[in-house]
Structure 1
């Protein structure tokens, strides 16, 4: 089973602990809609990676089998420690170039789109990392790091970074000078001039000190989170596609052929001279920009919260079974989960699409249950809880959709 499935209860327990600590400090750590959508983007990332991870692992194994220079022992502690250190070094460059190359930023930007900073932000992950992310770790395969060790150290590096996404832990003295920490990572998520494009380290912050990308958190300048081109949406599909769409739009519109290529490899925010002159962007001022937080009626919050909890159950089932399902069933299950999260976020945006998307996904679920007695390839007698959950979701949604059908709001500006 996917290790993230086992880690999920720990993630939510720590979110609860963070909420408790914020309450003690009389601080507001979470926004309901932003939190649901950040966690939802993580869930979408995990279910879509059911297939993309197989591709990345396949490439790694191919390089390991045919191009490795050494054969390292997967049972050696020294091999694991060396692989973790090298992985963290390669992660630094992957992360850094993700901020310095347009097409790589189009994937990584998903993680930075939230204007909040809490443990749910850590779960906010891209679904398109498989396009180029695997390239950075092939040196491990060439050196002979066994695939199992690569998977293990990648998971350690990823899980370590969860706890550093919080405002509830202050500066940690000497620890901040050696390791990635909450203070260091708050800086990384900042759009303030002094914080921009700093502190890329995953476990060690020493890489930033070595390569000149380190910055201290200044108590006199609070960090402002988000991106300089704010998303201002909750839609998980658009969150994953908007960076690529902006690059493709500029590549299409610019006249010079060289610039059609350059928009993909230049730093984020770079634009060809003809587009910059014809359509200049306003000066960036993070201190006057309103935060995206459309009002969400309490009834919509209840609907979205219930659907989200049931979707997490379905997502867990998807992660545990999809690798064993026939390709068509697995792809359909992933698509249903993504559609469901998109519907939930549409409700939170106040979009009229929420009604239509909810009806489509719930009718699809009911049709599957009633026609074949199966849930994406599994007999319902093996999944009674999931079948019941989907039926409850359908009935709850039907009542709420009727209540809201005449009170739909437009998307907040």
Structure 2
């Protein structure tokens, strides 16, 4: 069900991004860059490939735990609209804590950081989704199982909360007055994505910022936002973006002395370091890269092919065996890697084209033979 909903939503997301892009151009406030946009959208495709391969982890483990944890296994409430609304509120509350821990604990931040790596803030940033959350996020929602939310309603609530957050990733909607006090709005979410000192680790709510007000993490927008991460990401490779913080954590753990410091590196704030550890020195990274015409053409073509092939995967995911699913995923990941590689000038356009052809051919063959 989730794959189908995402598949049908993709054209809508594309249309809304085109409208935002056109609106920005018309008003002289375009905040899209080719490399950044392709990197964000490639990250979104990668997250969908991973999601197609890990449905058991994301929803299946909740379904497995549900009969053992629920206190109201046969409650009719969840079949009515009141139950759907309550499930969304419960999901939003649990997501607040997952989101907060994902900023305040280095190991969880390593999974979530990809969503914040863009130095721009637009609707494409909303699609820059995490690929590793399937492994780390699901335990935070088990209180919903205790409350009796059935797996189907849990999945639906997750879709509602996820889709709500799409529209709040924009700079073209200003303050919404009283709504800013209660809801996660574009103004509130701009604060969340900013690296300004006063904005760091604020406004975690997905739909409601009531949770932030209750637990002391709310901050209104009061100065221009500077987006990205404190340590900027260099490059456009989606695989590098996903793995860079894990590699950094591994190195920090290796340098730490004693288990207390090692656990501190993993679970304390991402900015925490053991006594005597060298301080991180952020490098200056340009907001966007100048992309040559041949590189741009190759990257855009690769992205369009990867999008079509990912759509095919989502359409056929339930029909694929494990081997075919793994093969399609590997082929798609290779194509997405090539997008970043050509933008980073590590791969010439002709070689990226060959990777794209091989990726698409392997994907189509595996989907057809399944």
Tell me whether the two structures share a fold, i.e. TM-score over 0.5: yes
Taking the aligned partners of 1:353 and 1:134, their CA distance within structure 2 comes to: 40
Superposed displacement of residue 323, structure 1: 2.4
In structure 1, the partner of 2:347 is: 352
**Structure index of larger Rg:** 1
Counterpart of 1:274 in 2: which secondary structure? Answer: coil
Tell me if the contact between 1:343 and 1:354 (Cα under 8 Å) persists in the aligned partners: no
Taking the aligned partners of 2:94 and 2:257, their CA distance within structure 1 comes to: 36
Question: Cα–Cα, structure 1 residues 128 and 364, in superposed 2: closer, same or farther, change >3 Å?
Answer: closer
Counterpart of 1:378 in 2: which secondary structure? Answer: helix
Q: With CA pairs under 8 Å and 6+ residues apart, which has the higher RCO, 1 or 2?
A: 2
Q: Deviations over 1:70-125 (max 9, x none)?
A: 12224222211111111111111111111001101000100000000000000001
In structure 2, the partner of 1:183 is: 187
Deviates more, 1:327-336 or 1:58-67: 58-67
In structure 1, the partner of 2:29 is: 27
Gap runs ≥5 in structure 2: none
Q: Deviations over 1:125-152 (max 9, x none)?
A: 1110012100100111122111110000
Task: Indicate which of 185, 193, 199 corresponds to 1:195.
Answer: 199
- In the comparison of the two structures, how many residue pairs are matched? 366
Q: Deviations over 1:293-316 (max 9, x none)?
A: 222101211121122112111110
1:143 aligns with 2:133: no
Taking the aligned partners of 1:24 and 1:248, their CA distance within structure 2 comes to: 46
1:88 aligns with 2:92: yes
In structure 2, the partner of 1:334 is: 329
Question: Cα–Cα, structure 1 residues 115 and 237, in superposed 2: closer, same or farther, change >3 Å?
Answer: same
In structure 2, the partner of 1:300 is: 295
Q: Deviations over 1:201-231 (max 9, x none)?
A: 100111111111111111xx21000000111
Question: Cα–Cα, structure 1 residues 313 and 272, in superposed 2: closer, same or farther, change >3 Å?
Answer: same
**RMSD over equivalenced CA pairs, Å:** 1.9
In structure 1, the partner of 2:107 is: 103
In structure 2, the partner of 1:68 is: 70
Counterpart of 2:54 in 1: which secondary structure? Answer: helix
Tell me if the contact between 1:63 and 1:142 (Cα under 8 Å) persists in the aligned partners: no
* 1:8-407 correspondence runs (5 A): 8-71=10-73, 72-73=75-76, 74-218=78-222, 221-275=223-277, 279-282=278-281, 289-352=284-347, 358-360=353-355, 362-363=357-358, 365-366=360-361, 375-378=365-368
Taking the aligned partners of 1:303 and 1:20, their CA distance within structure 2 comes to: 23
TM-score by length of 1: 0.85
Taking the aligned partners of 1:309 and 1:360, their CA distance within structure 2 comes to: 14
Tell me if the contact between 1:101 and 1:267 (Cα under 8 Å) persists in the aligned partners: yes
Question: Cα–Cα, structure 1 residues 25 and 108, in superposed 2: closer, same or farther, change >3 Å?
Answer: same
Question: Cα–Cα, structure 1 residues 168 and 336, in superposed 2: closer, same or farther, change >3 Å?
Answer: same
Deviates more, 1:53-62 or 1:144-153: 53-62
In structure 2, the partner of 1:389 is: none
Q: Deviations over 1:234-253 (max 9, x none)?
A: 11111111111111110011
Q: Deviations over 1:183-217 (max 9, x none)?
A: 00000000001111111110011111111111111
Question: Cα–Cα, structure 1 residues 361 and 298, in superposed 2: closer, same or farther, change >3 Å?
Answer: closer
Tell me if the contact between 2:338 and 2:355 (Cα under 8 Å) persists in the aligned partners: no
Superposed displacement of residue 359, structure 1: 3.2
